Amino acid sequence: MADLSFYVHIPYCIKRCGYCDFNTYTPSELQDGATLEIVSADYIDAVVQELKSAPKDPVSTIFFGGGTPSLLPAKDLGRVISAIREHNGLREGAEITLEANPDSVTPEKLADYISVGFNRISFGAQSFVPHVLATLDRTHNPENLLQVTTWAKEVGFSEISVDLIYGTPGESLADWQTSIDAALTLPITHISAYALIIEEGTKLAAQIKRGEVAQVDDDLTAEKYLVADKEFSAAGFEWYELSNWAKSGSLSKHNLAYWLGDNWWGAGPGAHSHLNGKRFWNVKHPNLYKEKVLSNQSPVADSELLEELQIESERLMLSLRLPSGVDKQSLNEQQISELSSYVESGHLDLANWNQGRATLTLDGRLIADRILRQILL
């Protein structure tokens, strides 16, 4: 029986950040004058109800993302963990992750999360430079990161991660170095660093279009990736996916489940699921989601059965992002021919190529998307 991973979407935020296009809502967007307590009161009831429809395969990872899951009390999120434990069973050592805003936790709250089953926490730092955070429309205090990660370690979180964003308009190389240096002083086991993507429809995209904020400098963004990899590696963090580095034994099992094409169930509004080649996703709006689930209707908005070519293309996209890369025997002659030029240019590792695998070099990671576009079916 294959393991199952759960993603639990918590769609609530105190405010919407200018760069974010995730399926998130402030309480007042969901109901005039409402507080978080009002709009989330029956939300966990709906999630627990939805979980009853999931397969009963044993669970190795649970990830609470959002939104800002740490806005909700541990007792509420703990109900979801308990429901999964009762419905599916948890593997020994199951990884249970909480995404958290550094301004939304206290030592007591963190200890409560431990008590209901969490063992991994990921703090959204994004940057440690005030003017960069202001461009991103983030309001947390970067000085809190050392305090909250220390608290997390003291109360018993075995794995602690921080998320960083690089490439923000106006962020200099020195600004990025400041963020890297600050992150590496924290008692963490994992770092995710993502290049900023300007999403249409966001406040930041509109500001750039109006000329109020500078365009992203792609060359500078690439240079920042190289600096990050060098600094993270020197500090003992090993690259294990394009945007993720971890201390030995601290890879995110949940993220790996996605990249390896395992089965997962997404609970909550807008959440996506993947089961044995079938993909489906829930209605996006939290109010409609609750209405459907609590009236015993399916929250699924639509689905698709992946064809063999889609499955193979996704396997290539995900596998090439990993150090293990792609087995050459799974490639056709045209794909091998296309990739050979990247071996010659130094973007794919020659030694690994000769041993039967296509793996990215450091320079290759910078153009991974371009390489993939040439070989996708």
One domain, residues 133 and 254: yes
Kindly indicate the confidence band of residue 213, based on its pLDDT and cuts at 50, 70 and 90: confident
One domain, residues 87 and 224: yes
Domain membership flag for residue 291: no
Task: Show which of 259, 292, 322 is a domain's final residue.
Answer: 259
What would the pLDDT profile of 305-328 be if each residue is shown by its tens digit? 999 999 999 999 999 999 999 999
One domain, residues 245 and 340: no
Task: Show which of 240, 259, 278 is a domain's final residue.
Answer: 259
One domain, residues 26 and 169: yes
Q: Which residue has the tokens 């921080």?
A: 162
For the chain, the domain total comes to 2
pLDDT at 31: 85
Domain membership flag for residue 302: no
What would the pLDDT profile of 97-155 be if each residue is shown by its tens digit? 999 999 999 999 999 999 999 999 999 999 999 999 999 999 889 999 999 999 999 99
pLDDT at 327: 96
- Domain range for residue 168? 4-259
Domain membership flag for residue 25: yes
pLDDT at 18: 80
pLDDT at 222: 96
One domain, residues 146 and 87: yes
Distance separating alpha carbons of residues 377 and 372, to the nearest angstrom: 10
What would the pLDDT profile of 324-343 be if each residue is shown by its tens digit? 999 999 999 999 999 999 99
Domain membership flag for residue 146: yes
Distance separating alpha carbons of residues 300 and 302, to the nearest angstrom: 6
| Total-model pTM | 0.95
Q: How high does pLDDT run on average in the chain?
A: 95
165: nearest Cα among 225, 220, 105: 225
pLDDT at 303: 98
One domain, residues 63 and 208: yes
Domain membership flag for residue 292: no
One domain, residues 105 and 250: yes
Domain with residue 110: its CATH number is: 3.20.20.70
- On whether the CB atoms of residues 24 and 12 are closer than 8 A, the answer is yes
One domain, residues 205 and 334: no
Q: Is 292 left (phi over 0), alpha (psi -120 to 50) or beta?
A: alpha
- On whether the CB atoms of residues 124 and 101 are closer than 8 A, the answer is yes
One domain, residues 205 and 353: no
Task: Show which of 259, 277, 301 is a domain's final residue.
Answer: 259
Q: Is the pLDDT of residue 374 over 70?
A: yes
290: nearest Cα among 66, 69, 30, 64: 30
pLDDT at 377: 58
For the chain, what percent of residues have pLDDT higher than 90? 85
179 vs 40, more confident: 179
Domain membership flag for residue 267: no
Domain membership flag for residue 289: no
One domain, residues 241 and 321: no
E strand spans, 276-335: 278-282, 300-305, 326-327
One domain, residues 229 and 331: no
One domain, residues 12 and 157: yes
121: nearest Cα among 141, 145, 138: 145
Domain membership flag for residue 367: yes
